[in-house]
Structure 1
Amino acid sequence: MAAHLFRRNFIQTIIASSVTAIAGSSIIKAQSTKQLQKGNQQMSFTEKWDKVFSKSSKVDHEKIMFKNRYGISLVGDLYIPKNRSHKKIAAIVVGGPFGAVKEQSSGLYAQTMAEHGFIALAFDPSYTGESGGEPRNIASPDINTEDFMAAVDYIGLHELVDRERIGLIGICGWGGMALNAVAADKRVKAVVTSTMYDMCRVMSKGYNDRVNLEERTQTLEKLSRQRWVDAEKGVPSYQPAYNQLTGGEEQFLVDYHDYYMTARGYHSRSVNSGNSWTITMPLSFMNMPILTYISEISPRPILFIHGEKAHSLYFSQTAYEKAAEPKELMIVPGANHTDLYDKMNIIPFSKITEFFNIHLFV
C-alpha cells in the first residue's frame, strides 16, 4: 500500500503528477543473477538471499519461474519443508501486499507456512519486482487475478504437491485479488486474507467511500486525458515516489513508511519502497469491482484476518458480510494494518495453519 496513492485527497493525488519513469532503476544489480529464456522473454533474477527476513533452516528454498495466461513470465520463491514424508503434500500460494515484492511479507508468510508443513509459493505480480511485463510498475485487477491462478497452475504440476489440496493467502490489496481468483478458480480449496484491501473499492470511492460521483467523474476525465500525454511520449508518466513523509500525515501513512522505508521492510524492487505506480494505473480498478462474485467461493471456506486498530478493517468486514458460509472473521486485538505484514508475535500463523489443516484435508 502506498502513501501518496491513499492520502485524504486520494483522487486529486493520483492525477497530480507526471514524472519520469523511475521503475527501471529500481531493479537490483545483483551480485549473482540467473538468466532464463522464456519464449522471447529474457529474464534475470538474483540467486542470493535478499529477503527482508531471515532464511529458515527448516525449509529448502529455490527460485522458480512460470508464465501466466497472457504470456508474462513470473518469478517466485518456492519454500519446501525439509522434514517431509514421501507422500505428496498440500500447497499454499501467497501474494501481496499491493505494491510489495516477494522478498517482503508474502515471502515471510510462505516460508512460515513451509515451516508448518506446506509447500508454499510467493511470487512477484506481473510488471513488478523480478517478474516480466512492460512497462514497469503497473497493476490490473484482471491480470493480477490471473497471476494467482497461474501460480496455481505451476504449483499443481509440481511433483511434490497434491493438487487437490491447494490454498491461497492474499495479503493487503492482494487479499481482494485472492478472493476474486478463488471465486473463479475452483481448484483452490480454501482461502485466507490478511489485513485485506479491496483495491477497486478504494480507488473508485476513496477511503470509507467518501468520493462522490462528481469527484469520480473528474478523476476519470483527468486519467483518460493523461493517456494522450503518455501515448504522445510513448512511455507512461509516474506518480510521485511512495511513502515519503513530509510531516503531519495520518498514522496509517506513518505505519506504511515505517515498514517500507526502514530496515524493517525496505526493498529496492518494491513499488512502495520509494518507487511508484504509473499515473493511469487506477483506471481499470475504478471500473472493475473484483468482489462481485465473492459469494460463489462457497462452499469453500474463507478466513478473514484483520487488525482491530487497522484503518482498513472495514474492507474485511464488508467482504465477510457479502461472503457465503463457511466463513470466519478473526480480528486481532490491538493490531494495526502493517502489524500483520511481519510481526511474528501478532500474525496468527497457528490459526492459519489450523484452518488449512482442516480444510485442505477433507
Structure 2
Amino acid sequence: MSDHNEARRTFLKLTGTGVAALSVATAVGAPAFAQDSAGWDKTFPKSEAVDHEKITFNNRYGISLSGDLYLPKNRGDRRLPAIAVGGPFGAVKEQSSGLYAQTMAERGFITLAFDPSYTGESGGEPRNVASPDINTEDFSAAVDYIGLRPEVDRERIGVIGICGWGGMALNAVAADKRVKAVVASTMYDMTRVMSKGYNDSVTLEQRTQALEQMSRQRWADAEKGGPAYQPAYNVTVSADSPQFMIDYHDYYSTPRGYHKRAVNSGNAWTQTTPLSFMNMPILSYIAEISPRPILFVHGEKAHSLYFAKTAFEAAAEPKELMVIPGASHTDLYDKTDVIPFDKLAQFFNQHLAA
C-alpha cells in the first residue's frame, strides 16, 4: 500500500470518523450519468410512469434545501401518501435517494429526495459540512414541505433513510410525531462511527488525540477565515484495500454512481466535520418511535450490519430487520434486483393506509 494510503488510513483511525472511508478512492473526472435533452442529471434513467419537479424549501434554521419531487402519473385527484427520502452520507439526491424516491413513486407514493444542508444544490456555508442536529432537522423540513403539497395526505407521511441518513431518519422520526412509518436501509449510526470508529475500535487515547487535533484546527480555520478540508477522496483502491472501500469506489467513482456534486465523488468534508458528532449519540431515543413501525433493511455481507442490529435491539415494537442474503452495503444503494422495493411498498401501504 502507498504511503499516501497508509497516511489516510491512519488519519481515519485517529479521527475515529470513518467519514472519508465512506467516500474513499474516487476517480476524479469520472463521467456522470449522461444528461438527456431535458437536462436529466441523475445516475439512473428517468421513469416514464412518474412526473418530476425540482423544488426548494427552507429548514428551521433558514437554510434553503433543494429537492426532487416525484409524483405518480396516474395519481388523479386523490390525496396520496408521501415519503421523504435522504442519504447516503456524502451523496446527493441524483444518486441513491433519487432512485429510491422515483421507484417508490412508481408504486403509488409521492416522494421527495433532497440534498442535505451544506451539500449538493442545497444552501449553507461553508460547503460540505455535516451536523447531526441540522441534518436531522432537514428530514423534518422535508416533512414540512411535502405535507403542504395539495396532492399529499399529510396524515400519511413516511421516511426512508439510506446509509448515514438511516440514523438521521430514526432520530428525526423519534421526535417528529407527524411521521407514521420509517425505513432505515443499509444504515449507519454516524455519531457512533465518528466517535468510536468502525466496530467501536477507537481507544480513549485516540479519541482524545483526534479531538485535540480538530480543536486546534478551529484556530487555524478562524485565522484563515474558512475551513480546511480533508484530503480529496481520489485515492485509488488496491488489491489489499478492505472490500467495503472497494465497494464504495465502485459506486462513487465509476459511471455507476458518480456525481460531480457528491462529497463522496472526488470532493471532501471539512476537517472539523466530526466535532459535532463526537458527543452526540443520535439513537438515544429510538424507542420513542414506537408505536410507529420501523423496517430495517440490510445486506448480509455489509460491513455495516452491526449498526442495524444494534439499532434494532434498542428499538421498541413494532419493528422488523430484513437481512438480504449475499448483499453488501452498497448493493442497497442502486441494485434494483437486490433492494426489496416490493417489501418497502407493502410496508408503507400497510402503515400509511387511509
1:42 matched residue in structure 2: none
Structure 1 residue 237 corresponds to structure 2 residue 224? no
Tell me by how many angstroms 1:244 deviates: 2.5
Shift of residue 6, structure 1, vs aligned partner:
9.1
1:299 matched to which residue of 2? 291
Deviation for aligned residue 1:246: 4.4
Question: Which of 331, 337, 348 is matched with 1:345 structurally?
Answer: 337
| In structure 2, distance between residues paired with 1:261 and 1:151 | 28
Alignment partner, residue 105 of structure 2? 114
Aligned to 1:12: 14
Deviation at 1:83, TM superposition (A): 1.1
8 A Cα contact 2:299 2:323, kept in partner = yes
1:219 aligns with 2:221: no
Whether the aligned pair in 2 keeps the contact of 1:98 and 1:174 (CA below 8 Å) is: yes
CA–CA separation in structure 2 for the residues paired with 1:289 and 1:242: 26
Counterpart in 2 of 1:41? none
Partner residue of 2:252 out of 235, 242, 260: 260
* Runs of 4+ in structure 1 over 4 Å off: 3-9
Which AA in structure 2 matches 1:357? N
Q: Is the 8 A contact 1:107 1:122 kept in 2?
A: yes
Q: How does 1:117-196 map to 2 (within 5 A)?
A: 117-196=108-187
How far, CA to CA, are the matches of 2:335 and 2:133 in structure 1? 30
Question: Corresponding residue for 1:105?
Answer: 96
2: CA distance, partners of 1:289 / 1:220: 16
CA distance in 1, matches of 2:298, 2:49: 28
Q: Deviations over 1:109-139 (max 9, x none)?
A: 0000000000000000000000000000000
The 5 A counterparts of 1:193-204 are 193-204=184-195
Q: Distance in 2 between matches of 1:87 and 1:121?
A: 18
Please tell me the residue identity of whatever aligns with 1:48: G
The 1:5–1:63 alpha-carbon spacing in structure 2 relative to 1, beyond 3 Å, is farther
Where structure 1 has 5 or more consecutive residues not aligned to the other structure, the ranges are 16-24, 33-46
Residue 285, structure 1, aligned to residue 277, structure 2: yes
1:10 offset after TM fit, Å? 2.1
Specify the code of the residue in structure 1 equivalent to 2:288: E
Contact map agreement 1:169 1:194 (CA 8 A) in 2: yes
Asked if 2 retains the 8 angstrom alpha-carbon contact of 1:138 and 1:278, the reply is yes
Distance 2:6 2:263 in 1: 12
Q: Deviations over 1:186-242 (max 9, x none)?
A: 000000010000000000000000112111111111110000011100010000112
Residue 53 in 1 paired to residue 44 in 2? yes
Which letter does structure 1 place at the counterpart of 2:203?
N
Q: Which amino acid in the other structure matches residue 176 of structure 2? A: D
Higher relative contact order, chain-length normalized (CA < 8 Å, sep 6+) = 2
C-alpha distance in 2 between matches for 1:348 and 1:7: 33
Percent pairwise identity = 74
| CA RMSD after TM alignment | 2.3
| Aligned-partner Cα distance in 2 for 1:316–1:5 | 30
Distance in 1 of aligned mates of 2:84 and 2:51: 16
Range that drifts further, 214-223 or 327-336: 214-223
In structure 1, how many angstroms separate the alpha carbons of the residues matched to 2:175 and 2:7?
29
Give the structure 1 partner of residue 24 of structure 2: none
Q: Which residue of 2 aligns with 1:18?
A: none
Task: Output the CA distance in 1 between the equivalents of 2:6 and 2:62.
Answer: 31
Alpha-carbon distance in structure 2 between the residues aligned to 1:173 and 1:288: 14
Amino acid at match of 2:258: Y
Q: Give the deviation of 1:77 after TM superposition.
A: 0.1
Gaps of 5+ in 2: 18-27
Q: Distance in 2 between matches of 1:185 and 1:270?
A: 27
